[in-house]
Amino acid sequence: MMRKRLVILGATGSIGASTLRVVAAHPERFEVVGLAAGRDVAGLQRLAAQFHVKHLALAEPNDAGIPFGEAALCALASLDEADLVVMAIAGMAGYAPTLAAIDSGKDVALATKEVLVMAGTEVMRRRLSRGVRLLPLDSEHSALFQCLQSTASVPACVRTGDEAKADERLAEVILTASGGPFFKCSEIDWKRITVAEALNHPRWDMGPKVTIDSATMMNKGLEMIEALHLFALDPAQLRVWVHPQSIVHSFVHFKDGALLAQLAQPDMALPIQYALTWPDRALHAPVPAMTLAQMQNLEFAEPDLHRFPCLKLVFEALPMGAWTHPILTLANEVAVKAFLAGRISADRIAAVIEEGLTRAETNFDAIVRYAEEAVTRFERAAVVSS
């Protein structure tokens, strides 16, 4: 078997670490030919030595002579010898490298949901024109992807020709959500929530931006938009159930009445491994097998949109059209960065997003500018009130 050659962007983050754990478990199947990180020079060099990788890039300037910046990330994503690019750079920074990988004919295993939320129509158009596959890494989208596959039809994200459409057989999909650290709180005073409290996720170990999004449940809203593009869905086909145990990763409800679910350990190595080995399955797992005891007393509940205003805004925006998608993700990203930096309180995250949605359709730079202006106003208001 020829080893699949991988480029991993976001190698020093949680997704990158899980990806490299899968690679280490299957040395006969995978070879890493390129690695990129944000600013962690030492971490990147350590991984390069461990996996014998010579092609490196960083998002930020450095003193180690490693190529840096968007151009360097795009060059790495387009590396001639790569077969598959793992895109795990958080936020807007993953957009250009993803397009570079697709335009160079590489399959992409995608964890950076902002890429599809910002420009899903364009990304999927280019994917189809180049005949490459977009393989989901998020556990929820991997679950949908696995449930949708059959001998009779093909999911949209890997369809390259006239194959029968899996989406034509769908009634609805149900994305599950852990609920984050605040779901079981009867009342949530977002104005008083601290950064430390919001980062204290009960189930998943993720980067700070994604962890805050999980606390506000904006993460699930962005995943809904991502699912629209990956699987050619209509907004009316999307539902969310909170499932604190994170054992059932998603449901697919078919028109014939069947309801399929994908269950697995809450460990990102499993959906990553499936994306890397697709269309095959690995013969062993890098995590312990599920037990019957883990599947007892599973809980499901509809989210309370009153307590999670960010998710409420997504449900309200989706019927308005795709022009709202980049506003939702870019305004949220600006607001979350400001919250993590202590500039605004958590309740202002939803306020920045809501203000963005009152604007007309516009370009990415304008959306970011409007969001930053809103953050500055809220920051000044907090100073005045104190």
Report pLDDT digits (tens) over 174-215.
999 988 888 888 788 999 999 999 998 777 677 888 899 999
Q: Would the pTM count as exceeding 0.85?
A: yes
> What are the start-end ranges of the E strands in the chain?
4-9, 30-37, 55-58, 84-87, 107-110, 134-136, 170-177, 238-242, 248-254, 259-263
Residue ranges per structural domain of the chain: 4-137+268-290, 167-265+292-316, 323-386
Task: Give the pairing type, strands 248-254 and 259-263.
Answer: antiparallel
Q: pLDDT tens across 132-175, in order?
A: 999 999 999 999 999 999 999 999 999 999 999 999 999 999 99
> What are the start-end ranges of the E strands in 26-185?
30-37, 55-58, 84-87, 107-110, 134-136, 170-177
4-137+268-290 architecture in CATH?
3-Layer(aba) Sandwich (3.40)
Answer yes or no: are the C-beta atoms of 294 and 93 closer than 8 Å: no
Which of 79, 59, 76, 77 has the alpha carbon at shortest distance from 68? 59
Q: CATH for 323-386, among 1.10.8.640, 1.10.30.50, 1.10.1740.10, 3.40.50.150?
A: 1.10.1740.10
Q: pLDDT tens across 217-230, in order?
A: 999 999 999 999 99
* Overall average pLDDT of the 336-353 stretch: 96
What's the pLDDT band for 383 if we cut at 50, 70, 90?
low
* Overall average pLDDT of the 304-317 stretch: 95
